[in-house]
A and B are shown apart, each in its own frame.
Chain A
Amino acid sequence: MMGVNFLADLTIKGKAGLLLILAILISLPFWSSSYIISVATITLYLAILGQSWNLMLGFAGLLSLGHALFVGISAYLAAYGFSVLGLPPVISVFPAVLLAILMGMLIGYLGFRFSIGGVYFALLTIAFAELVRISVDHLGFIGGTEGLFLPVSEGDRKGVDLINLRGHPFMFYYLAMVLAFLTLAGCRTLLKSKLGYYWQAIRDDQDAAQALGINVFRYKMYAVIYSSGIAGVAGVFYAFYQNSLFPESVFGIERSIEVTLGPIVGGVGSLFGPVLGAFILTPLGEGLTELIDFLKNSGIIDPKLKLNGLKLLIWGLVVSLIVLFKPRGIWPWLSDKLGFCRTEGD
């Protein structure tokens, strides 16, 4: 049902395009390298997070710059449950997601109750993320600054154990793909439901929405709940894929900013935008690293030259150019050009 709905917006061309991309993604492990699979897994993971972040900003108009918080506390809970209490992730995912949602509800409650809007709300999310990062730094039982590690044994990377999320990288790749697809379909359903229209009304004009009798506080809370819940699921995946968690690399502001990039580049408020954005930015970053290595190895540039930072410098330039010249994002422009969608930008 969901899947049928989901295809209804696409034209024949769009469906063909989607099918082609799906075919490439599904067959990827059979013909590419393990390096490409690891890049593709991270890309899919960021696509899920992009979707979650887009749900708040693109659907309901709430700018979050602290999404790493939801991912991080859920990742930490699942990792702690597994490494110390021996809880498999199929079980710990529930309390982990619940914790992420509760955190979202706390921020949402404070923010909306005290009517903190726009940039101020974004700063509130940053403040909470930073507070938790510093607190985790000082919490010895989950590793503090030393980090929290999941036990990995030699045999783990061979099998497929979905209950304990231990297995071959291909398992994580396919799992990320399934999660990304479910998130996309779920967000499509939400966007086209009554809830989705309420969100868009609030996003476009909060006062008008309120005047029409929409309970603005409640529906904004729903946006935060769904968004932080999805981020929580992604957090559990991250913990078991990465196997090591450090406060700085999990809760750092860079992580929160990373989450926002895909949707902004792809197109805020659209469904395919966050996915497309992730598929542009992650390979771009990896491609630049490869290109610099290649140029060094082939002697075109001096191999002894220290080029730390060059990759991110170019990357920043590309992002600036996109903001300046395609401010609505790549997806709305691309889908217009190629005639993928019936309704523009969806």
Chain B
Amino acid sequence: MDFWTLANALATGLLTGLVYGLSALGLSVIFGVIRIVNFAHGEIMVMGMFFALVMFRWLGLDPMLSVPLAAAILFVFGYALQSTVISRVAHLPDHMQFLLLAAIAVMIVNGSLLIFGPDPQAINISYSFDSFDIGENLIIDKTRAYAAIAAVAISGLLLGFFKYSRTGKAIRACADNYLGAQVVGLKVDHLYALTFGIGAACLGAAGCVLLLLIEVHPYLAPGYTLLAFVIVIIGGLGSMTGALVGGILIGMSEALAAIVLQPSMKSAFSFGLLILVLLLRPQGLMGKSVK
């Protein structure tokens, strides 16, 4: 294997990893604040992909332009889901919450199967096969570059929102100290719903840009749920920068595993990494220490 094969694989992995990072951000935000493990994560993202697919087929809209719309719709979906259903199981043990979200995931997968059928569907846009050639040997797909740029921009917006806006600070206050947040008069239920909405919006955006890179079908979802877990745990559950770093790490290690071992072994690599991190640094690479 020569240097340029490696460089191309790593560049591809880096760009894909940024999209993974955006998706994992959605999981991380929800776990970090509401302490709910969203087992319907990949499913909500695939909803975003299907939304972008419909917009493309119906209006000829570029998936990049569907991003704000998908984010808005899934924000409303996430807000409603948290305030009407998930808030009701907040006091139940972990496994009941897991079961509820797994049941929601099953409903989303099979609902989309009912509507869109089982076959993989791809879109073809004008720049699908274009690429940026950097120098003579480094070739980067245009779609992948655009997807990564969008992912970075949205992640940046989100980090800014949580760091500087009043609502973002209030949400972080809820995460730090639930009782304290209630005492100072924050509407915790509303902020939790807002957080779930933001997490789902992230997934909507990630789903739209991911449609540029891969075909969509209902059974794609569970794999992405697991992938996001791996990323978030490696990065550190609840740490937003950790999710991005974890995404890049997994994207690049998958790309490496695909050329060094076999493409079908790439997720074995991620799970191996997950086990190592769980054993050696359970709080994740960027996480704060565990309780």
Contact = CB atoms under 8 A, between A and B. Distances in A.
A268 interface: yes
A118 interface: yes
A20 interface: no
A309 B115 CA distance: 9
A194 interface: no
Interface in A230-261: 253-254, 257, 260-261
B184 interface: no
B5 to A, nearest CB: 22
A300 B245 CA distance: 54
A315 B113 CA distance: 14
Interface string A86-119: 0000000000000000000000001000101011
A323 B264 CA distance: 36
B37 interface: yes
Interface in A129-156: 130-131, 134-135, 137-138
B275 A127 contact: yes
Given A116-B278, A123-B233, A316 B89 contact: no
A294 interface: no
Contacts of B85: 320, 324
B114 A310 contact: yes
A131 B271 contact: yes
Interface residues of A, number: 44
A123 B106 contact: no
Q: Give the secondary structure class of B's interface.
A: helix
A257 B39 CA distance: 11
A316 B104 contact: yes
Q: Which of B109, B218, B275 is most buried by chain A, counting CB atoms within 10 A of its CB?
A: B275
A311 B105 CA distance: 14
A124 B280 CA distance: 13
B103 A316 contact: yes
A323 B96 contact: yes
Interface in A286-333: 306-313, 315-317, 319-320, 323-324, 327
B102 to A, nearest CB: 6
Dominant secondary structure at the A interface: helix
The CB with the most chain B CB atoms within 10 A, among A110, A268, A312, is that of A312
B110 A316 contact: yes
A313 B114 contact: yes
A309 B111 contact: yes
B189 interface: no
A341 interface: no
B267 interface: yes
Candidate in A123, A126, A308 with the most chain B CB atoms within 10 angstroms: A123
B114 A324 contact: no
A320 B136 CA distance: 56
Contact of A119 (B37, B99, B102, B104): B37
B226 interface: yes
A324 B100 contact: yes
A289 to B, nearest CB: 13
Contacts, number: 123
Nearest to A110: B279
A170 B92 CA distance: 41
Which of A135, A261, A308 gathers the greatest number of chain B CB atoms within 10 Å? A308
B222 interface: yes
A127 B274 contact: yes
A308 B114 contact: yes
Interface in B103-125: 103-107, 109-114, 117-118
B113 A309 contact: yes
B99 A260 contact: yes
Interface string B74-89: 0000000000010011
B61 interface: no
Contacts of B107: 312-313, 316-317, 320
Nearest to A121: B278
Contacts of A60: none
A261 B265 contact: no
A57 interface: yes
Nearest to B229: A123
A247 to B, nearest CB: 11
Interface of B: 37, 85, 88-89, 92-96, 98-100, 102-107, 109-114, 117-118, 218, 222, 226, 229-230, 233, 262, 264-265, 267-268, 271-272, 274-275, 278-279, 282
20 contacts: A63-B94, A63-B95, A110-B279, A124-B275, A126-B229, A130-B226, A134-B265, A135-B268, A138-B264, A138-B265, A253-B226, A264-B99, A306-B117, A308-B110, A312-B106, A313-B110, A313-B111, A319-B99, A323-B96, A327-B89
Closest 4 CB pairs of A and B: A309-B113, A309-B110, A316-B107, A316-B106
Given A130-B271, A134-B268, A313-B111, 16 more contacts: A114-B282, A116-B282, A118-B94, A123-B229, A134-B271, A135-B268, A254-B222, A260-B99, A308-B110, A309-B111, A312-B109, A313-B106, A317-B107, A320-B104, A323-B96, A323-B103
